[in-house]
Chain A
Amino acid sequence: MKRGDTATTMTRRTLLGAGGAAALAGGAGVASAQSEPYGGWFTGDARGGETASFDGTVDRTGESEVTVDVGAPGNGGTFAYAPTAVRVDPGTTVRFTWSTDNHNVVVESQPDGAGWEGHEPVENTGFEFTHTFETEGVYTYFCQPHLSVGMKGAVVVGDADVGGSSGGGGGTARPDFGDWLVQDGEPVAGGYTDARGQSEVTVDVGAPGNGGTYAFAPANLWIDPGTTVRFTWSSDNHNAVVESQPDDAGWEGHEPVENTGFEFTHTFETGGMYEYYCQPHLSLGMKAGIAVGDDVPTRQVGGADGGDGGGGGGPTFQLPSNDIAVMLPGLVFGLGGLLGAAILAGELYNDRKQALEDAPAIEGPATEAPAAIPTVEIGHDEYDPVGTAILIAGFFLVLVFMWIFVYFVEFLGNGPTIVG
């Protein structure tokens, strides 16, 4: 019974969080859970928050032991499993290693016949445990203290299909810029384009994303050597500063800050990884990378549309405008208030106008009027401001009442109280 009470309390708070996450997901136009990899386990539609650290399934097949970092940076803190989703061969031993405090591993789902128990006690830095995954299939798990911020993970054993638009089998390869295209644990906006085979490509500088028009689109671009990239400014106050490039490449970027309509081109001849950013908006995640040639580090992504933010910004704020029941009272009270204020203002204006008209016209040059002579003079003790006295007595009564209510009823009556 008491446990039931607890559940009710938790549900209310959890529901608020889940509702908000669902609304955000809806606003951002996330596809339905069925087309998401892992049945939507890493979206905000599943239990807990959206898993921002999920960026495709990392293929670690062919290794006999794989390490998963528990409490890696991500999901708005050190609340990620790294890799978040990993594919291993049957019989692979996975070592879960705690790199920060207060995490556990709770199994959400696993294939029939698998008996993985995870590790439910909350553990701290340095703790580790291993499990050898024999049964093929998809295992999902989460960290109970940080489920609400999306600390979720998955292990895929064997050739199991993880779902998603491109199906399983490791998905497609794309250039891996490591942490460069990550800002505060979230992939930067801008999306990914594979432009190999094209002779000229355009990068939109100042595209929508990263909380404004602070994205390079695409943020992750893959081209052949010899491709000309045209950087086109679509909003103001951006530049392109080179962070890193291959040793013998001489790209200088474009450091002066330019405005809408500006453009410059560069032909990338040297193969390798180029990283650049916009200096004014670096802190917002306006970063991008260009991979030239086929000899670049890559990683596998599960879904064709998963990964690098897909060009959108972060979660979009959603007005509750879809809910007419929420909007209508606000509208009625708002308009009513405005109308009331307008009527009051009109009356005040008329009164004032009347008073001005009724006032005797001033003739001649303005002079200081002499003080009016009182008709009756009364002595000091004859003056009885009874009305004022009653008003003040009333204030005192209210004060006493409020004090008694606040101290004795609201405070002392609200025990238990700290007594030591």
Chain B
Amino acid sequence: MLGGAFLTMSAIIEIDRLTHIYSPGTPFQIAALDSISLDIKKGVFLAIIGSTGSGKSTLIRHFNGLLRPTSGKVRVCGIDTADKKQRRNLWRSVGLVFQQPEQQLFEETVLADVAFGPRNMGLAEAEVKERAHEALRLVGINPQEAARMSPFHLSGGMRRKAAIAGVLALKPQVLILDEPTAGLDPQGKQQLMQHVENFRRREDATIILVTHDMEEVALLAEQVAVLNQGRLVMVGPPREIFSRVEELMAIGLDLPAAARLMHQLRLLGKRIRPGVLTADEAEEVIAGLLEEALC
């Protein structure tokens, strides 16, 4: 029992002084990541935020070995990502959903597309089918209908879901999503992230979300890592990160709207409890202030 508890607390991704330099030794040399150290615990929902060019996409490409460190070390599920012989195991453990994944659909039907990954892993046909059906249900697509749907005749939101189902069917221990909700309508965003959360619960998977949407971070993340110019500048729970207002603003980031309002009220001299992130929480705080003032 103790051993189990210990295991769930252990790091599934260990990053030790990771530095990545693009085009080293040329005039175009750019240090995209600069000595990053971070442990990501198994089963956690981590959001990575940072302005354009801060190194987010470079960092997540290290998690499945698409990039190898210029210096430093990255271990994922105990595998050193620099070890070429372990590549295949790494790809099986880590699912990476790129930006606009719907552009990567290629099969004739949605079902065939989702089944491609598990089949490619060499699983038995019954297992392939079961995994594809399960993944489709997780994102809210009926597997029977998916067998008849062409991915190219779907709306953007449906194609996005189909593409993500293709990665879920691999049952990765670590699921990395690079701006998965960009371009989706508010309801589509909410549903998609709910599916991701369901997958995490069910599989005890680790979720790493790269996003520009601070509301999403406030609602979903347990931990937030903030990058700026290739450096890791903050790590912590959202309530803590979003209380460091000036630092975030200085590196081109924003607060969730409710947190921004609370910050401005504090500047007016109002005493407001820390850690308010959502509209509901802000409503409660303002109701309290109004009652006080109107009494």
**Do A and B actually bind?**
no
Q: List chain A positions with a Cβ less than 8 A from chain B.
A: none
- Residue numbers of B with Cβ under 8 A of A are none
